[in-house]
Each structure stands twice: as C-alpha cells, then as structure tokens.
Structure 1
C-alpha cells in the first residue's frame, strides 16, 4: 500500500485582521475583546448592557 502524501501547511486565516483595527471602541466594563456597537445616537455593549450616549 502506498504512503499517504503529507498535507501542505495551510496559511493561517486572516479573518482576525478586521477586528484589530484601532477604529472600534472597547467596552470599559468588559475590557479588551468586547466592542461597542455603533448606533446612530449611542454606543452599546451587548454583553453587559453598557450604554454611552453620543453628543450631538
């Protein structure tokens, strides 16, 4: 029986790059890794329900 060929190493996924930009604000209560959702009049954390109102 012939030997199986070794699989080629895959490139690591680059999906995480879209999260590492400095544009998104992190939640002050939850810490790094939890981002605030950007609504028209507020910034909102879905995990701890933290709300920051935007000034007009």
Structure 2
C-alpha cells in the first residue's frame, strides 16, 4: 500500500483582523459606504477598494 501524503500546514483565516473592539462592542473596520456594512474594503498600498461595486478611495502621500 502506498503511504498517505503528509498534510500541508494550513494558514488560518485572518478575518479577525477586520474587526476592532471598542468599549466592549465589536466594530467592523473599512466597510464600503455604498454596499453597506456587509462588505469590507481591500487595502492596497495606494488605495482602498471594494470588489463588489468597484468603489475606490485613493490615499494621498
């Protein structure tokens, strides 16, 4: 019988980085103003971007 392959180490989800705790309340960070609180904005080096509605905010240097 062949040997079973060794399982790869899985990277844990980083969804917890999208939330902050303020005064015992959990708040979402960087939500889209057009789509509402259900969608997060992707953070890039010069902009924040919503993948659903294509909303973009450019960061100033």
Q: Do the structures match in fold with TM over 0.5?
A: yes
TM-score normalised by structure 2 residue count: 0.56
User: Unaligned regions of 5+ residues in structure 2, if any?
Assistant: 1-12, 21-26
Aligned to 2:36: 31
Check if 1:46 corresponds to 2:44.
no
**Matches of 1:30 and 1:47 in 2, distance apart?**
8
Distance 1:23 1:34, change over 3 A: closer
Deviant stretches of 4+, over 6 Å: none
Superposition deviation, residue 54 in structure 1 = 0.6
Greater fraction of residues in strand:
2
User: How many residues are paired up?
Assistant: 41
TM-score normalised by structure 1 residue count: 0.61
**Matches of 1:50 and 1:27 in 2, distance apart?**
8
Superposition deviation, residue 33 in structure 1 = 1.3
